Copies of this chain bind each other. A is one copy, B any other.
Amino acid sequence: MFVVAVTVFVKPENKEDFVEASIDNATNTRKEPLNLRFDVLQCIDDPNRFFLYEVYKDESGFAAHKETEHYKRWREEVAPMMAKDRIGVKHKNIFPINEEAFFSK
């Protein structure tokens, strides 16, 4: 599996719009054939800090995601909402090792 973890700091006045755009992106990404998971989280200690946890079957799944209309729409919509550059970190899974444990409908 290929896991992308993205931290986003949003301008306080854009929190609601960021959430709306990110739910749209997550909902559509979950329909991609190589996506296994897309969690959108809000930091408890800093409500302007958000976290996207994206799991794909492999790196090609992430590449395909970046070509989708919903990703491009999200990227364009949220760019002016960010208080600073977003931070994306790419990972491979160590545990669990099997795809089933990552996947839930």
Contact = CB atoms under 8 A, between A and B. Distances in A.
Interface in A71-105: 89-96, 100-105
Contact of A23 (B39, B51, B89, B94): B94
Interface residues of A, number: 33
Contact of A39 (B3, B19, B49): B3
Number of this chain's copies in the complex: 2
A51 B95 CA distance: 11
A51 B89 contact: yes
A34 interface: no
B105 A43 contact: no
A30 to B, nearest CB: 8
Interface of A: 3, 5, 19, 22-23, 26-27, 38-45, 49-51, 53, 89-96, 100-105
